[in-house]
Amino acid sequence: MDVIEAIEKRRSIRQYKPDPIPEAVLEQVLSAVRLAPSGKNYQPWKFIVVRDAEMKKEIAAACSWYTPFDRAVAQDWVADAPVIVVACGHIKEAAVKYYEDERVIIARRATADKEGASPADYESTLPMDLAIALDHLTLAAVEHGLGTCWVAGLDEQKLKALLKIPEDVWAPVVMPLGYPVSWPNATKRKPLEEIIAYETYGVTT
Ligand SMILES: Cc1cc2nc3c(=O)[nH]c(=O)nc-3n(C[C@H](O)[C@H](O)[C@H](O)COP(=O)(O)O)c2cc1C
């Protein structure tokens, strides 16, 4: 399967077969995560692979949330996947960009802290780093007939307590991984002419 095929086939999968994932397949999928690029190649991440049934249930319970209109959204289906990958980002290990004396500084967050730069606003590459790594996961999964779903609707504090994730680690998303019951139809996307601009932001032809 080529990359374009995998991109076109990927879907958010919310129903999983109980079939286990062979070790060799799991390793290949995780290896794709490892190869992801990151800001300054700091690789400020760790991915927890959860297979224990009770722990998966607890994680799924932490993945319930409310709309602003008080509608509860449970995501119990998360526990049905044979594997849940929990993405963790080391806040102090990621590259950050900030402005100081009219200069753009790029450094490790920890380095910047130590040097007392104390910039008011860091722009961390961490969200990008984690997203790329997980996108590698979603696409490598497709190659092996596996489905995934980004699940960011979760209670991060509960998740961190469950998995003993340190305070200075960010855990914004979990990703169930398993064989789909079926491949849903593609969801809609905006047309290309609406989202692509040429040369400057406003020119779209
Ligand atoms: C950052 C992010 C967070 C998401 N969080 C959830 C979630 O908590 N629960 C869920 O069911 N889907 C979640 N999704 C999946 C999106 O709803 C889905 O990607 C989108 O509707 C497009 O559908 P597709 O992935 O099948 O193309 C999330 C997707 C992204 C990228």
Question: What is d(CA 130, CA 134) in angstroms, rounded to the nearest whole number?
Answer: 6
Residue with CA at minimum distance from ligand 1 atom 27: 11
Residue 100 CA to residue 47 CA, distance in Å, equals 33
CA 174 distance to own-chain centroid: 7
**Atom number of ligand 1 nearest to Cα 11:** 26
| Ligand 1 binding pocket mutation candidate from 80, 149, 159, 188 (most atoms within 8 A of CB) | 149
Q: What DSSP character marks residue 20?
A: P
In angstroms, what is the span from residue 149 Cα to ligand 1's centroid?
6
Where residue 102 falls among pLDDT bands split at 50, 70, 90?
confident
Q: Ligand 1: which atom is nearest the Cα of residue 13?
A: 26
Atom of ligand 1 nearest to the CA of 14: 11
CA of 13 from ligand 1 middle (Å) equals: 9
Distance CA 83, CA 175 (A): 8
Mutate to test the pocket of ligand 1, among 9, 10, 12, 15 (most ligand atoms within 8 A of CB): 12
pLDDT for residue 116 is more than 70 = no
Please state, for a pLDDT cut of 70, what percent of the chain lies above it. 95
Instruction: Name residues contacting ligand 1 (CB within 6 A).
Output: 11-12, 14, 75, 149-153, 187
The SS3 of residue 177 is strand
**Position in ligand 1 atom list of the atom nearest CA 131:** 1
Would you state the pLDDT for residue 115?
Answer: 62
> Would you state the pLDDT for residue 110?
80
pLDDT score of 11 more than 80? yes
Q: What percent of the chain has pLDDT over 90?
A: 86
Nearest CA to ligand 1 atom 6: 151
Predicted pLDDT of residue 120 = 59
Q: What would the pLDDT profile of 31-86 be if each residue is shown by its tens digit?
A: 999 999 999 999 999 999 999 999 999 999 999 999 999 999 999 999 999 999 99
pLDDT score of 119: 56
